Structure 1
Amino acid sequence: MPQILPWPFAPANDTVATPYFDYAATTPVDERVIARMVECLGKSGTFGNPASSSHSFGQRAREQVEQARRQVAGLVGAEPQQLVWTSGATESNNLALKGVAQARGAAKGHIISSQIEHKAVLDTLAQLQGQGFAVTYLAPDKDGAITTDAVRQALRDDTFLVSLMLVNNELGSVTDVAAIGDLVREHGALLHVDAAQASGKVVIDLGTLAVDLMSFSAHKTYGPKGIGALYVGPCANGRLQAQIHGGGHEQGLRSGTLATHQIVGMGEAFALAHELFAEEQARIASLRERLLKGLQGLPLAFNAARTRQIPHTLSITAYSDFALGNALAVSSTSACNSASNAPSHVLLALGLNLAEATRTLRLSLGRFTTEQEVDQAARAIRDALLVPVP
């Protein structure tokens, strides 16, 4: 066993309330975002229906919606008109995958994805398989990456769609969608990217990436739950069938009265992410290094450690059983898997067995994580791993 180093950072009695290390599940809404949202509520606010173009109440609401669209586009390098509002990344994924598949009519065909995608993609693809579409699920390599070569080998003459996440929600690993996008574009298929975990954490420039569809969620980026967007690039225009009908909103791709306050919240959240990007990257990278130093020498392994990772997410597996109790707000898997008490399909695809998957923690850092909380987290994990479970 490696040498256990002394804890150098904080005295044992220097504690705070239960630290939150589950930012990958959801983020608290930034107070600045809340303030903008409140302006769209109540009689004195911008409460009008954005579709009501015949009076000033609706016109002001529409202006706010379009401003938010520009703010979201600004973070990801898209044109505002290329963004379709949805209720979140789950709906965006459904619209992208089902929309492209069903727009083919009687023609079926082949889709490529991976074993480590979010359930919003995997469950949607399972439904398409039931409708006659063929799906190949790529396995990650030993480092947890979905490689360009794996995509190349899986391509078939009838492959019309590839769907891969940009940042894995459990491992924090980053997929090379730039190289994969060029390959898929050359093949003549469309590339959909689930970027729910990526916005504000990695640079996204849809003006240069060969990506045709990209899903976003506000609540992973300090915005409200219940709002998201789907980027629809030029190659996907006319190749997407709406999934929700009734009014023809959002260029006919997503009907329903626009929730002005939610949309404004997402816009403000993405604008803040754009403004704070460099500062947050540096601060969270520093916190990660502090956490790693605090965990140095403990009997554990770091999952997907040799891949490119965002600094925000860390997956660790202990060599033996441990009891962390309620010392930290962490998870062992995604919120969707946790809710069903299912083992992580991501960890199993990575090669971990069931016992190892149950001994895994996902720690995710965010905007409001402090050095004191990092110290407390490392201390709690050290204490848990060095005390035998009865």
Structure 2
Amino acid sequence: MKTQVAIIGAGPSGLLLGQLLARQGIDNIIVERVTGEYVLGRIRAGVLEQGFVDLVREAGVSERMDREGEIHEGFELAFNNRRVRIDMKQLTGGDTVMVYGQTEITKDLMEARAAAGLQTIYQADNVTLHDVKSKTPSVTYEINGVKHHLECDYIAGCDGFHGVSRQTIPQDVRTEYERIYPFGWLGLLSDTPPVSKELIYCKHERGFALASLRSASRSRYYIQVPLSDKVEDWSDDDFWAEFKKRLPANTAKNLVTGPSIEKSIAPLRSFVCEPMQYGNLFLVGDAAHIVPPTGAKGLNLAASDVSALYKILTRVFKENDKSCIAQYSEIALRRVWHGERFSWWMTNMLHNFEGLSINGADDRTFEKFMASELDYYTGYEAGRRVIAQQYVGLPYEELE
């Protein structure tokens, strides 16, 4: 088989890239190691920056998102018996975010790809990338023990942190930066009305909590837990009781509880791989970078990678201009590091680090620094504007 662009991974970034390329007449095939049902079973973030929303619209897959997604103009920070609203729309001159679940985005993209007759190969075993520095890279994989060979011009590695794409880049070529946080987020999804129409980020002496939502009838809530905790340690009743303690009192009284649809613990890490390009292989999304979910940047950074690569490949195939290829890693990493810094900063400010010495200062001093940071940035309009601008997302860069 032959294609112009081989995309490794059928998550939202791979599917979005494939849809955008197809609309420009650029042939692409997606190779995915698991089933489509498994991909849809991943419960992930649902806060979309305007840039991501615009890309989905450009891909022609926005009908349900525009109908069911909720525009959010602000969110709250709750700490020290204070509640500070970050009015994103007012502070940024009109920018907002949309709340629409990643599972729903993925489903929409899958259905659009199938309707367009674009090829996705699921349950591909032993996926291997070959000759990525040559003019004729290729991908091999096995289906039911039978080996297949896919020739292509370029490979987009959208296969996540544990995928084969990043590992294809030699160790002496790539540099990896990582910070592991000594806690995780226990998340619970339930068919209950959200406790608030806007997200509430709570800093509490018992630990961080986040009141989030997927729709007017579906809630997504999180609490900070030690990495030693396991999901089975937490019954639904235990979660609700602890979550309620960390909410502002006047909000907690409105909390509606119910059985969990899904419950999981996500460890927190900051991770970046440089470069994000090796020959004709481009890393996209979690294959190259992971952020703590505190700043709502994971899926959105993947979208900005897609945007940069889509522009580059469109110029390559439509204008036969290959000089722009070398811009990818620099453009993508510039925005990635901004997102990493913001997510690290929000995580440090809002979580409880008591007894956890990882920040180069004793716990009490670090907590004082972060309390002062939070007080300053929420106490002044200029500080709130910084938070708002980063949260709605920095502009996408254009090619030179």
Give me the TM-score of the superposition, normalised by structure 2. 0.23
Bigger RCO of structures 1 and 2 (CA < 8 A, at least 6 apart): 1
Higher strand share: 2
